[in-house]
Amino acid sequence: MPLQISSLEEYQSVYQQSIREPEAFWAAQAETFYWQKKWDKVLEWDFKKPDVKWFSGGKLNITENCLDRHLESKGDQTAIIWEPNDPNETVKKYTFRELHAAVCKAANALKVLGIEKGDRVCFYMPMVPELAIGVLACARIGAVHSVVFAGFSANALADRIKDATCKMVICSDFNKRGQKVIPVKSVVDEAIALGCSSVETVLVHKNTGGDIVWDEKIDQWWHNIVDIQTPQCPAEPMDAEDMLFILYTSGSTGKPKGVVHTCGGYMVYTTFSFKNVFQYKEGDVYWCTADIGWITGHSYIVYGPLSAGATTIMFEGVPTFPDAGRFWQICDKHKVNQFYTAPTAIRALMAKGDEFVDAYDLSSLKVIGSVGEPINEEAWHWYNEKVGKKRCPIVDTWWQTETGGIMITPLPNITDTKPCYAAYPMPGIQPVLLDSDGNEITENEAEGLLCVRFPWPSMLRTTYGDHERCKNTYFAAFENHYFTGDGARRDADGRYRIIGRVDDVINVSGHRMGTAEVENAINEHSNVVESAVVGYPHAIKGQGIYAYVIVNETVSDETVFRTEVCEVVRREIGAIAKPDKIQLVSGLPKTRSGKIMRRILRKIAANDTENLGDVSTLLNPDIVESVIEGRLKE
Ligand code: WT7
């Protein structure tokens, strides 16, 4: 197992060493894993291209590290606890031995169905054990998984399937969420009908049962094929730099891009960070409430915890079913030791009242974590007092789909915590603040653009099928730096506070959304001429979506129109991208060169119109007043 830091002095000295001798540091961590063949070179890198290779020449299979290597010492220990949507249904538990067998069977099934090393397999599934099993089965045989969050629409799913030319889609029949049963397989059918010609097989896991349309030519039942396989499957030897998975994420322009992570470095870093950030100890029960459709689920439900030999919980349901005490009921029921969730969930539950949390015994908790968006001070204190009872350090973890693992965070009971601060860099992570000209801001108590100046093992390697885009998005803004897209502040003691995105990306309930993407969806409405989308402060979601829309023909019923626009967005992207507010405007403030002045629109949406700055240089300064007048309050 990689090093587990246990004191402040150790953190400080390890951090210094990791910066002074990064190769020696990461080689020492990597040594603790099971490699089929050792690497030739720890690190080669060039951010200009970018070209980053960790542990090249090394051969490994991440599933041997997540499963096989634990069999002897903890084969009978629980690897996954699956908690169903309905608390009255039966919990499922998989020991490492059982999980190993299940993964091998699924891997053999994939092979029978023609999946080979390097093929892409798309997952569109709810939080059922078969999702984790399927993902690991891909890794076992060297297939590349691309998990698409099951809340995305058929259009969004089709875009992702096509971009990665997936050969197979693995899905469920239906998804249970609270009292709702949501169709899943029919969304895949719809996506395939949109021309996903690369898909040869749709492998369907029967979750609820119920009527689905069946196409004998491509549909296969999971149970028919997986259940009859043998529970052994050799682990494909993977080069450290072979692709492990693709995960799509939104940017400020264009369609979502497929962030590519590779096997060796990702394994080392997610395991190392998991052990340290959560201070996981033998026998602990760890729970991350994320969905495996996002990077948090990949790194900190599946790979990091399993590789570290931890017991990890997978929860099928939602925080408010059957009531707002569900999270705490689960913590109590399974005696959870480390709990990791998102600020939006904390704020939503905080709003429901303290009685839901007070009803349960949370004395097993040792560390509580937050991820995905800035946690505001009020939510931080509530989490600290009501959930952590002031005895559990809050780890406010800053990272991104692209970083693969947690980059900036307190280490519990090692470094201090401070509300709103993600605090200190992890060993091996070299964050810097730059000004807009690319000069480094070296002093403390300063604000700047958050960049990273040295590679770390789990960083993205490319964006699938478009390396130029990777370069332009992350490595072109500032020479020799990875640019995160976030602004940050560093306090007098060197702690980082993440302020938020500085590009046209908004963060709604911890979900990343490109404003351009939402605009493109809105523009699909036949009566929409042009639109502009900005984020605005939202009490629960962190940011809400505010859309300014210019229509062609006068709208007679605005309520109907808004419903239609939301429906178009739901169809194009998914319900998570539906605007919270839609304001009809006669024009949008633009610069003389025709660029929409989002800065002004953001201020209007936030009701911060006192200080709009100079608008006289706009192409259409008069429009500002009328947009302000029409502002939607509630
Ligand atoms: C963006 C990345 C990484 C897991 C989930 C989100 C924001 C993430 C924090 C935090 C403030 C945060 C940033 C970042 N973000 N964690 N602790 N404090 N902001 O992954 O969808 O790739 O989004 O989320 O703006 O750039 P993602």
The C-alpha torsion from 239 through 243 and 244 to 250, rounded to 10°, is: 160
State which of 247, 380, 400 you would mutate to test the pocket of ligand 1, scoring each by most atoms of that ligand within 8 A of its C-beta. Answer: 400
pLDDT of residue 553 exceeding 80: yes
CA distance 150 to 123: 9
Percent of the chain residues past pLDDT 90, beyond the cut: 97
Query: Span 119-123, mean pLDDT?
Result: 99
Nearest protein CA to atom 10 of ligand 1, as residue: 398
pLDDT of residue 617 exceeding 90: no
User: Do the Cβ atoms of 514 and 505 come closer than 8 Å?
Assistant: yes
Return the ligand 1 atom nearest residue 510 CA.
Answer: 6
Residue 405: which pLDDT band, with cuts at 50, 70 and 90?
very high
- Report pLDDT for 615: 87
Here the tokens at position 505 are 């990306």
Here the tokens at position 538 are 């939202």
Query: Span 400-416, mean pLDDT?
Result: 98
Angle value at C-alpha 266, between 80 and 405, nearest 5 degrees: 80
CA distance 486 to 178: 34
CA distance 598 to 476: 23
CA distance 370 to 577: 22
pLDDT of residue 36 exceeding 80: yes
User: Which residue's entry shows tokens 């998570």?
Assistant: 576
Q: 499 CA distance to ligand 1 centroid (A)?
A: 11
Burial of 283 per CB tally in 10 Å (0-12, 13-18, 19+): exposed
Neighbours of 607 (CB within 10 A): 13
Q: 556 CA distance to ligand 1 centroid (A)?
A: 40
- Report pLDDT for 406: 99
- Report pLDDT for 457: 98
Query: Span 24-52, mean pLDDT?
Result: 98
CA distance 478 to 72: 48
Identity (one letter) of the amino acid at 77?
Answer: Q
Residue 92 pairs in a beta bridge with 82
pLDDT in tens, 496-532: 999 999 999 999 999 999 999 999 999 999 999 999 9
Nearest protein CA to atom 20 of ligand 1, as residue: 400
Q: What is the 3-state secondary structure (H, E, C) of 289-336?
A: CCCCCCHHHHHHHHHHHHHCCCEEEEECCCCCCCCCCHHHHHHHHHCC
CA distance 588 to 600: 10
pLDDT in tens, 244-300: 999 999 998 889 999 999 999 999 999 999 999 999 999 999 999 999 999 999 999
0.85 cut: is pTM over it? Answer: yes
Q: 310 CA distance to ligand 1 centroid (A)?
A: 24
Residue-level length of the chain: 634
CA distance 144 to 138: 6
Percent of the chain residues past pLDDT 70, beyond the cut: 100
Ligand 1 contacts (CB < 6 A) are 249, 294-296, 371-374, 396-401, 422, 484-486, 498, 500-501, 507, 512
Q: Which of 228, 263, 271 is nearest to 106 (CA)?
A: 228
Neighbours of 447 (CB within 10 A): 14
- Report pLDDT for 418: 98
Query: Span 428-448, mean pLDDT?
Result: 98
CA distance 55 to 66: 18
Q: 618 CA distance to ligand 1 centroid (A)?
A: 33
Burial of 633 per CB tally in 10 Å (0-12, 13-18, 19+): exposed
Query: Span 122-147, mean pLDDT?
Result: 98
Q: 408 CA distance to ligand 1 centroid (A)?
A: 11
- List Cα–Cα distances, 215 to 123, 169, 337, in angstroms: 18, 14, 45
Angle at which helix 96-112 crosses helix 129-141, to 10 degrees, equals 60
Return the ligand 1 atom nearest residue 396 CA.
Answer: 17
Query: Span 460-464, mean pLDDT?
Result: 98
pLDDT of residue 613 exceeding 90: no
Q: 144 CA distance to ligand 1 centroid (A)?
A: 24
Residue 145 pairs in a beta bridge with 121, 245
Residue 144: which pLDDT band, with cuts at 50, 70 and 90?
very high
- Report pLDDT for 474: 98
Q: 398 CA distance to ligand 1 centroid (A)?
A: 6
Query: 428: phi > 0 → left, psi -120 to 50 → alpha, else beta; which?
Result: left
CA distance 107 to 112: 9
Q: 510 CA distance to ligand 1 centroid (A)?
A: 7
Residue 120 pairs in a beta bridge with 144
Neighbours of 591 (CB within 10 A): 12
pLDDT in tens, 374-395: 999 999 999 999 999 999 999 9
Phi and psi at residue 178, to the nearest 5°: 60, -130
Return the ligand 1 atom nearest residue 409 CA.
Answer: 17
Helix (H/G/I), strand (E/B), else coil: 590: strand
Here the tokens at position 427 are 């060993």
What is the rounded average pLDDT for all residues in the chain? 97
Contacts of 255 (CB under 8 A, 6+ apart): 159, 163, 517
- List Cα–Cα distances, 619 to 59, 516, 624, in angstroms: 59, 21, 11
Q: 208 CA distance to ligand 1 centroid (A)?
A: 33
- List Cα–Cα distances, 593 to 502, 532, 600, in angstroms: 21, 16, 16
pLDDT of residue 631 exceeding 80: yes
- List Cα–Cα distances, 98 to 76, 171, 231, 558, 605, in angstroms: 8, 22, 9, 56, 52
Angle value at C-alpha 151, between 148 and 155, nearest 5 degrees: 70
Nearest protein CA to atom 14 of ligand 1, as residue: 400
Q: Write the DSSP string, 136-185.
A: HHHHHHTPEEEE--TTB-HHHHHHHHHHTT-SEEEEESEEEETTEEEE-H
Return the ligand 1 atom nearest residue 422 CA.
Answer: 17
Query: Span 12-19, mean pLDDT?
Result: 98
Nearest protein CA to atom 24 of ligand 1, as residue: 372
Return the ligand 1 atom nearest residue 399 CA.
Answer: 3
- Report pLDDT for 614: 84
User: Which residue's entry shows tokens 């490699």?
Assistant: 35
pLDDT of residue 396 exceeding 90: yes
Return the ligand 1 atom nearest residue 511 CA.
Answer: 21
Identity (one letter) of the amino acid at 7?
Answer: S
Nearest protein CA to atom 27 of ligand 1, as residue: 400
State which of 259, 512, 513, 576 you would mutate to test the pocket of ligand 1, scoring each by most atoms of that ligand within 8 A of its C-beta. Answer: 512
- Report pLDDT for 315: 98
